[in-house]
Structure 1
Amino acid sequence: MTEGVLWAIFAGLMLGLYALPEKFTKGFKYENTWSLFFLLTMFVVPIIASVVLIQGFGDIFGNMPTDIWIKMGLSSFLWGIGVMMWSKAINHIGLSLGFSIFIGTIILVGSLLPFIVDGLPPTNVLTYVLIGILVVLLGVILNGKAGLTREKDEAKLNAEQNTTSEKGSMTTGIMIAVIGGLLATGFSYANAVGRPYLAEAVKQNGNADWITAVAVMFPIFISGGIVMTAYFLWQLNAKKAWGDFKTSSLGKNFILILIMAVFHYAASALFAFAASKLGASGNTVGYAIFNTASVATAIVSGIITAEWVRASPKARNILYTGLTCMIIGIVIIAYGNGQA
């Protein structure tokens, strides 16, 4: 149990920190950084990880029914759009706020999806889950309010100092994060559709149970990566950003972005491993630990990197309250699911 908890925390830390290296790239436009990131995290890393880790890789995916490929592919396509919008939101409103609103939206919708697919659970489970959803929703709303308050604080300081800000609109960034979070729940649907077949196929080929997560992520990441590739090829041409890859910082930037890609992918695989170590409580307690650690890490790292240095104490207090609500809500949802 202790090992599982520690791995869940570590997985959450990796997810919460994955976008942090982006702050330290130099000479790259948004399009350069994120196109290279998505190329690595959606294709290079998952292909290498899947081929190396999954015994019987060719047989498992070669025999996967066509209808499962189609369902996973279409829902993963939506997930890819959502993750792409997440990166855009981070550039508008920062790591801490973009992360918490995006993940909060996924938790809200993701907690309701099983009810749509499988029907309503027992009353005691439903009560806890609905209470938890309301608490998470309150946290997301407070985080949004904190962001808008921060924007007003920064606008006031800019007016006093006669300076301008290069940041995008806070309202636009929040909307992008929310819509991205809604689309990103396609990951949950793809997982639900593909997991039964892949879990059995993985087991039959002599793999450990946690390898199922690696197998599930392969078609999801490849399918989601297609939309991102198309979008960023268009953007690199439209913004004439191809030439920005020719910078003296290319080597350093590549290492930073590779770290982002590995952290982003490995977080999910490590969570699956943690869940297997936690036994029956893996998908409930582990889920709470994973998401709590990731959201808290993203917000703390955003604060450390001075995203909120110009915000008033009021804005920061609202942010802290929103984070607390999200953590409490996640724990309540996990506890409720554990009563099933």
Structure 2
Amino acid sequence: MFIGILAALIAGTMLGLYALPGKFTSDFEEENKWSLFFILTMFAVPLIATFGLMKGVGAIYSEIDSSILITMIVSSFLWGVGVMMWGKAIDHIGMSLGFSLFIGTVILVGSVLPLGIAISKGQPLPSTPTLIAILIGIAIVLMGVLSNGKAGLKREADEMALKAGEAKAGEARAGEGSAGEGSAGDSETAKPKSYAIGILIAVTGGLLATGFNVAFTYGAGPLADAVKANGNPGWMTAMAVMLPVFLSGGVAMTVYFLIQLSKKKAWGKFKTPAFGKNFVLIFIMAVFHYAASAMYAFAADSLGANGPVVVYAIFNTTCLVVAVVSGILTGEWTKASPQAKRWLYTGLTCMVVGVLVLAYGQTLDQPTAVETTVETAANSFMNLHQVGA
């Protein structure tokens, strides 16, 4: 049990920290950083991990119905667009806000999606107590998402007010003539990224990222049987699902960044003395991003029938807390007012409490021990987020 809980904590920490090394790259535009990251995390790392750890990879996928793979590929393409937007949101609004808004949106939709799928398949709804707990948890998480959105807008207002005050102070020191020129120059060069746009990108990305949930819903069962039939442990089902998901999502991201790198003429930025350092930092990002999901699946499998429920709460709570704290420690909220920080902390608290309520709701209809833990793990892994993670 200790190993499973520790693995869940490590998984949440890895996902919460995965974007942090990107703050220390140099001489790269956003497009250089994120294109290299997605190439590594969507293609290189999954292929190396899958073929290095899993037995009978070819046989596993040959046993799956083609219609299931097509469904996984299409939904994964949308997921890829969503994760790409997540990266853009982090650049706009920082780790604290980018993580909490994106993952909060995924938790919201990921909690409702299984209910919709169950209804479409004619399956019974959860019991009344479970349904009430799920709805309460969703409402609390939604409050957290809205609170974090408010925190971002307030932080933007604070930073703009501070810049305006600094500009006025500069004008007073420089005198009327030079002040006019300096003000015009600042307006030309300093083009602040809109927090409202960043928030919209994060939420939209979170909605699209639920394509991972769809892919996992349709592929987890058949792949679980094939994975076990080829002599692999049950937790590797997550890896089997992630390979086609990551490859398909990676196609969407590759097309986007090929266009962006050419449009902004950023290809030359790869030719920098800092490329070696940047590559190492971005490779760490890619490993953390991918390994978080595999570690999550291992943790859920290690804790038995109740494992997915426990790990779901530990993982998401750890991820959110680590992301927000790391953003604060790296100075993202230095210029924010106490009011903006209170909105941030309120949002984080709501989202953590909401995740715990959702996890509790899942325990109320917990399946009996004779049912397969793979299906149970699939449902919770779906809600995990995503993200490839």
TM range (shorter): over 0.9
- The secondary structure found in structure 2 opposite 1:64 is coil
Please state how far the C-alpha of 1:166 moved relative to its aligned partner.
4.5
Q: Which moved more, 1:40-49 or 1:163-172?
A: 163-172
* Separation in 1, partners of 2:352, 2:30: 31
Please state how far the C-alpha of 1:171 moved relative to its aligned partner.
0.3
- The secondary structure found in structure 2 opposite 1:121 is coil
Structure 1 portions without partners, runs of 5+: none
Which residue of 239, 243, 247 corresponds with 1:214? 239
1:324-339 aligned at under 5 Å gives the runs: 324-339=349-364
Q: Determine if the alignment matches structure 1 residue 142 to structure 2 residue 147.
A: yes
Equivalent residue letter for 1:152: A
1:191-340 aligned at under 5 Å gives the runs: 191-340=216-365
Give deviations 1:110-165, integer Å, cap 9, x for gaps.
Answer: 00011001132111110000000000000000000011111111011000001775
Give deviations 1:245-266, integer Å, cap 9, x for gaps.
Answer: 0001000000000000000000
Query: 2:63–2:226: 8 Å Cα contact kept in structure 1?
Result: no
* Separation in 1, partners of 2:158, 2:278: 32
* Separation in 2, partners of 1:198, 1:263: 24
Please state how far the C-alpha of 1:277 moved relative to its aligned partner.
1.1
Corresponding residue for residue 99 of structure 1: 99
1:77-226 aligned at under 5 Å gives the runs: 77-119=77-119, 120-162=125-167, 166-226=191-251
* Separation in 1, partners of 2:291, 2:71: 24
Instruction: Say what the alpha-carbon RMSD is for the aligned residues.
Output: 0.9
* Separation in 2, partners of 1:63, 1:209: 17
Query: 1:93–1:167: 8 Å Cα contact kept in structure 2?
Result: no
Give deviations 1:187-236, integer Å, cap 9, x for gaps.
Answer: 01100100011100000111011111111101100010000000001111
* Separation in 1, partners of 2:24, 2:259: 25
* Separation in 2, partners of 1:178, 1:28: 26
Larger Rg over CA atoms: 2
Please state how far the C-alpha of 1:172 moved relative to its aligned partner.
0.3
Give deviations 1:24-54, integer Å, cap 9, x for gaps.
Answer: 0000001100000000000000001010111
- The secondary structure found in structure 2 opposite 1:257 is helix
Equivalent residue letter for 1:300: V
Q: Determine if the alignment matches structure 1 residue 11 to structure 2 residue 36.
A: no
* Separation in 2, partners of 1:260, 1:130: 34
TM-score (norm 1): 0.99
Please state how far the C-alpha of 1:63 moved relative to its aligned partner.
2.7
Corresponding residue for residue 48 of structure 1: 48
Structure 2 portions without partners, runs of 5+: 120-124, 168-185, 366-389
Please state how far the C-alpha of 1:167 moved relative to its aligned partner.
3.6
* Separation in 1, partners of 2:223, 2:298: 16
Give deviations 1:306-335, integer Å, cap 9, x for gaps.
Answer: 000000111111101110000000000011
- The secondary structure found in structure 2 opposite 1:317 is helix
Equivalent residue letter for 2:356: V
* Separation in 1, partners of 2:364, 2:90: 36
- The secondary structure found in structure 2 opposite 1:94 is helix
Q: Determine if the alignment matches structure 1 residue 71 to structure 2 residue 76.
A: no
* Separation in 1, partners of 2:227, 2:285: 28
* Separation in 2, partners of 1:145, 1:318: 7
Please state how far the C-alpha of 1:338 moved relative to its aligned partner.
1.3
Q: How much identity, in percent, do the aligned residues show?
A: 60
* Separation in 2, partners of 1:147, 1:278: 37
Aligned residues: 340
- The secondary structure found in structure 2 opposite 1:282 is helix
* Separation in 1, partners of 2:228, 2:325: 39
Corresponding residue for residue 371 of structure 2: none
Equivalent residue letter for 1:74: V
- The secondary structure found in structure 1 opposite 2:26 is coil
TM-score (norm 2): 0.86
- The secondary structure found in structure 1 opposite 2:234 is coil
Equivalent residue letter for 1:141: L
Query: 2:137–2:355: 8 Å Cα contact kept in structure 1?
Result: yes
Query: 1:136–1:330: 8 Å Cα contact kept in structure 2?
Result: yes
Give deviations 1:90-117, integer Å, cap 9, x for gaps.
Answer: 1110111011000000000000011001
* Separation in 1, partners of 2:313, 2:163: 39
* Separation in 1, partners of 2:216, 2:191: 39
- The secondary structure found in structure 1 opposite 2:308 is coil
Equivalent residue letter for 1:6: L
Q: Which stretches of structure 1, 4 residues or more, deviate above 6 A after TM superposition?
A: none
* Separation in 2, partners of 1:316, 1:265: 31
